Amino acid sequence: MLEIKNLQTRFRTDNGEITVLDGVSFQINKGETIGVVGESGCGKSVTSLSIMGLLPRTARITGGEILYNGENLVAFSKDQMRKVRGKEIAMIFQEPMTSLNPVYTIGAQIMELVLNHTSMNKKQAKEHAIQMLKLVGIPRAEEIVDEYPHQLSGGMRQRVMIAMAMSCSPSLLVADEPTTALDVTIQAQILDLMRELQQKSEMTIMLITHDLGVVAEMCDRVVVMYAGQVVEEAEVEKLFATPKHPYTVGLLGSIPDMDTEQEYLFTIGGTVPSPGQMPAGCRFAERCQKAFDKCYEQAPPLFDLNDGTKSRCWLYE
């Protein structure tokens, strides 16, 4: 359904252009839920903004394709993209405050979307907006529709974003950290709602999250990113049982365990290289305990391990 091929996205900065996404490739099949995880700053949000055609002005896609049902979204005009957005592909943004308009009421923002993409009239759209707010567990929805974003708590704003994204029953939902600001009971409720919509309308979900518990619960397949590239791709059970890439191994090792007392948590030492200063070899080498000579000289390709697993690491050559 969605196939990302060798996507390269670059940003203009005061110190010249930097490559933030460097050859990202993965595909999402209809009706499945794919999880995207990875180091903070590795390019997950930029990937989803690239799909949505919502990159900031300083950014541009310099290579690759984003095929949605066979059509290359990268080549779409602004108008064509606007038609796709909201109805076909909807997105839940990581930071709700940056994507909700502070001067319009919550209701007006949901209604605008619904009026643009469905045949509902104003009254029906408002009803629908209230209905959606109730579905995501917002109390006093009838009043909240007429309130402004700053009057809501962090988690309520996030739920407004979710209600908005789901209001036109999109075929593909790109959810960037949809539940980070939510408590676990409401999170469970939202995840259930997503699953329900998925079963009803075969919705496909791309779920970006730091919460590996949510990944374990929701996803069929997982893509792990590091420094602007995909470093591992696997079915969810395989990823948790036998992680391949040393970064994935470190990531899974950092999860705090509810059942044991640890004074300090395990961390992967060092920091990720800045975009623009990527090493010639493996991008994880500086922090990898398994690194050997070749790793510092040559960048590993994404090896296909033939069981649906892929790993960008010389150990799997």
Ligand X SMILES: Nc1ncnc2c1ncn2[C@@H]1O[C@H](COP(=O)(O)OP(=O)(O)OP(=O)(O)O)[C@@H](O)[C@H]1O
- How many other CB atoms are found less than 10 A from the CB of residue 181? 19
Picked from another protein, ligand SF4, Mg ion, none, the partner binding residue 252 (CB below 5 to 8 A depending on kind) is another protein
Per DSSP, 274 falls in state P
Say whether residue 253 binds Mg ion (CB under 5 A).
no
Sheet with 89-92, strands from edge to edge, namely 89-92, 172-176, 204-208, 33-38, 221-226, 229-235, 310-311, 303-304
Say whether residue 33 binds Mg ion (CB under 5 A).
no
Residue 69 CB, shortest distance to another protein, in Å, is: 29
Which part of the chain contacts ligand X (CB under 6 A), choosing from 61-69, 151-159, 164-172, 279-287? 151-159
Say whether residue 11 binds ligand X (CB under 6 A).
yes
Say whether residue 278 binds ligand SF4 (CB under 6 A).
no
Per-residue mark of binding to ligand SF4, 154-173 (x: CB under 6 A): --------------------
| Closest alpha carbon to 85 in 29, 168, 4 | 168
Residue 84 CB, shortest distance to another protein, in Å, is: 24
Fill in the amino acid letter for 167.
Answer: S
- How many other CB atoms are found less than 10 A from the CB of residue 117? 18
Say whether residue 45 binds ligand X (CB under 6 A).
yes
Residue 150 CB, shortest distance to ligand X, in Å, is: 6
- Burial (0-12, 13-18, 19+ Cβ within 10 Å), 43: buried
Which part of the chain contacts Mg ion (CB under 5 A), choosing from 42-50, 97-105, 108-116, 295-303? 42-50
Query: Helices 122-135 & 154-166, crossing angle to 10 degrees?
Result: 130
Say whether residue 73 binds ligand X (CB under 6 A).
no
Beta strands in the chain (DSSP E): 2-13, 16-28, 33-38, 59-68, 71-72, 89-92, 172-176, 204-208, 221-226, 229-235, 303-304, 310-311
Picked from Mg ion, another protein, ligand X, none, the partner binding residue 255 (CB below 5 to 8 A depending on kind) is another protein
Say whether residue 42 binds ligand SF4 (CB under 6 A).
no
Binding residue for Mg ion (CB under 5 A) from 45, 179, 229, 309? Answer: 45
Per-residue mark of binding to ligand SF4, 236-255 (x: CB under 6 A): ---------xx---------
**119-132 CB burial, b ≥16 within 10 A, e <16:** ebeeeebbebbbeb
| Closest alpha carbon to 66 in 174, 168, 167 | 174
Q: Are 279 and 286 in contact (CB under 8 A)?
A: yes
Binding residue for ligand SF4 (CB under 6 A) from 84, 182, 295, 302? Answer: 295
Binding residue for ligand X (CB under 6 A) from 35, 64, 86, 155? Answer: 155
Say whether residue 62 binds ligand X (CB under 6 A).
no
Say whether residue 226 binds ligand SF4 (CB under 6 A).
no
- Burial (0-12, 13-18, 19+ Cβ within 10 Å), 88: middle
Could you list the residues that contact Mg ion (CB under 5 A)? 45, 94, 153-154
* Chain contacts with ligand SF4 (rule: CB under 6 A): 245-246, 282, 284-285, 288, 290-291, 295, 300, 313-315
